[in-house]
Structure formats: C-alpha cells, structure tokens
Amino acid sequence: MTAAGPSAARSARRPAALVYAVALTAYLVAVFQRSTLGVTGVDAADRFHINASALATFSVAQLAVYAAMQVPVGVLLDRFGSRRLLVAGGALMVAGQLCFAVATDVRLAIVARVLVGLGDAMTFISVLRIVAFWFPGRRNPLLVQLTGTVGQLGAVLGAIPLVALLHHAGWTPAFLTAAALGTTVLLIVLVAVRDTPHTGHNAAVAPDLRGVRRQLAEAWAQPGTRLGLWTHFVTQFSGSVFALLWGYPFLVQGQGLSPTAAAALLTLMTMVTLVCGPVIAHLCARHSYHRSVLVFAITAATAAIWAVVLAWPGRAPYGLLVALVVVLAVNGPGSVIGFDYARTANPVHRIGSATGIVNVGGFVASILLVLAVGVVLDLATPAGRGTPPLDAFRWAFAVQYLLWALGAVQVLRYRNAARRRHAAERAAVAVPAPVGT
C-alpha cells in the first residue's frame, strides 16, 4: 500500500500505538455499556415491575442483536472501514443508554438494549481490523488477546462505580453518565483513529452478494472455523452470563451478599481476566497443537467449580465464591482461542468472515443460558415470593451442563476434522507446516 498526498503522509506519521490505544478504549467503553445491565438487574426489575423471565428479555435482545450482526458487520467493515463503524457503534450505544436512562416502559427499555447491542456488535471486530492493518502479523495473536482482555476493564466501570452512582444519584443520572462517557470516547475516536497508515486505502471495494456468499461458504467449509465457533461457544457463556446479568442477582438474592460485596466479586473477576489473558496467549503460541486441550481444561474447571457451589448445603462460603469468580474469569480469554483457530485455518482475505462466524458461537450460547435461567427462576420461585430462593438459582444454573456437554462434543468433533484435513493437506504437498489445532 502506498500513501497518497499530504493527508496520507500525516496518517502514516500517526503512531500505531496511539490509534490502537484509542480503538481499544472504544472497545473498553463498549464492554462497559454492555455490562451496565448486569449490576443493575435487581434495580431494573423493581423499576419496570417485571419478573426474572421478563428481565432476561433485556439481555436476550441485546445479545441476539450482537450475535445476528456479526456477519453483516464483517461485510460493512470491509466496505466502510473501522473508523466509521466505531463511530456508528458508539453513537448507537449512546442513544441506547439515553433511552434506558429515561425509560419507564418495558418496550422502550428493550429498544434501548437493542441499540446498545447493535453498537457493541460493531466494535470488537473493528478493533481487530485496526490491529491487522497497523501492526505486523507476528504481533497479531498477542494484540488480539490483549484487546479481548484489557477491554474487560469496562466491566469494572460497570460494577462498583456504576452501582455506587446508581444508589447515590438514582437510575436516570447513572445512565446519563454512561451516555456521556460514550459520547466523550466517540469524539476521541473521530479525532485519533484512522483505518490504515495510508488513507488512500481506508476501505475496500464492496463485494457483490455472490462474492459475499462464496466467501462465507468457504470460511464455513473450513473445519478450523467451526472448531473456533464451538470453542467460543463452550468457553464463553458461563462467565459472560454471570457478568452480564445473572451473577449479581445470584450473589445478592441467592447468596445473601451486600450489593457492594457482589460488585467487588465482579470486579475481581475482571481483574483476574486481565492476568489470565496474556498467559493463555503465551500457552497458545507455545503449544498451538494442544490449544484444544486448554479449551477442555477451562471447560472442565468451570463445570467443576459450579458443581461445588451448587451442591454446597446452604449459602456458599465467601472463599468458595471467590474461587468461582476466579475460574469464571478464565472463560473470556479462553473464548479468544476460537479467533486464533479462525486465523490459522483461513487465508487473510477470509479472516473477517471467519471471525464473524466464530464470534456468533459464544453469544448464541449466552442467549440460550440467559433465557433458560430466567425461565427456571420463575418456575422454581414459590408463588407470592418477591425474590428467587437459593434453590431456584441452583436449578437455574444447572442448565449450563447441557450446553457444556453439547459444546465439548462439537469441539472434539471439529478438532478431529481439522486435524484430518491438515494431515491430508500436508500429505498432498509433502511439506511440513505449522499445525493449527
């Protein structure tokens, strides 16, 4: 790529680290906007006078839009570039939080979460595209893991500070503040972010519909892409749903913790994620052939710690709840392994399509779990009782084992398929190559 004119020269001189730092901040704030419902679920139920199933529809609307938009956003990203999508996504999230701040009607509240989900869907893969254009390929795996990990700091902003503001100032000021934060970052993105170091190549020619279909079909035909999707599915949902919606009610209503103590545990979960991300990236780089072993280990550890918590007689001791959130913290970095499978299984021109496919997996699983927990809580809560008892939460979170079983079987299936395909390709060319499973 070559620069064109003075504006291109200015863009080329723009430090890659600055562009990435601003884009990463945009993703961090997107995670914050996504997480705001998680720590305000109890207050939302009171504000809108709804039960657990109805509350779940808020998160489902947000997650469903996010999942459904991954592939279309990948196509838009190739056409319009990261900067425009980051700006559009930021504006949509601001609009969503403004609506949520003033909403007293359930329908408007759902529209608000849809807007947040739509804007959130445009952010993560836009940052990944910036990484691909501004940094050499050898640094991509670490920066992708760093993006997913550091972005989770947004959940910290959505925990203790937001809870404190909510209880001190009230619902509307808290969400107006969230909208103001989003507006500030949106303006910084407008000033600092460029799609590539060379402005003459900010956007690609829009592919026709036939080309889009062909590219998606080729990405889907790769067993490594489907291995990435099921990896994302099986590793993400438990930690994501805990942080996004049901963890806070479980800790406060089920385990009897104070709101501050519950928010502190969610913050600890995010901080541990920051430590785990680079460790998992290092292990994947050093032992690429055994990435699936790491996926199974994370899944098994998560299922095991939940088994102990759910089987504990009475309320779990605080130390056990700390252990739970520490293990759940590994889920996020573990799900990023799915993107690494997509990267190693597909050529560069299909990375966007493959990444969009992979990113659907975990959010579909999260939607299923959010809905299932809400339904089971309502069914298991005695009539006339305002809050679910601990036993209701036990039955609700036990639904996770169905998803883990499905995901583990599919990961094993496509790991074997990817290895067979890789072996066949090596035999065809008779040249050793790095293995991606």
DSSP string, 17-62: HHHHHHHHHHHHHHHHHHHTTTTTHHHHHHHHT--HHHHHHHHHHH
Domain boundaries defined on the chain: 12-199+212-424
So what's the pLDDT on residue 399?
96
So what's the pLDDT on residue 345?
83
CATH number for the region 12-199+212-424 comes to 1.20.1250.20
So what's the pLDDT on residue 167?
81
So what's the pLDDT on residue 199?
56
So what's the pLDDT on residue 207?
56
- Fill in the DSSP letter of residue 151: T
So what's the pLDDT on residue 302?
98
So what's the pLDDT on residue 166?
83
Q: How far apart are CA 378 and CA 389, in angstroms?
A: 10
So what's the pLDDT on residue 384?
74
So what's the pLDDT on residue 62?
81
So what's the pLDDT on residue 1?
37
Two tokens at 342?
A: 């997509």
Q: Tally Cβ neighbours within 10 Å of residue 166.
A: 20
Query: What parts of the chain have a pLDDT lower than 50?
Result: 1-12, 201-204
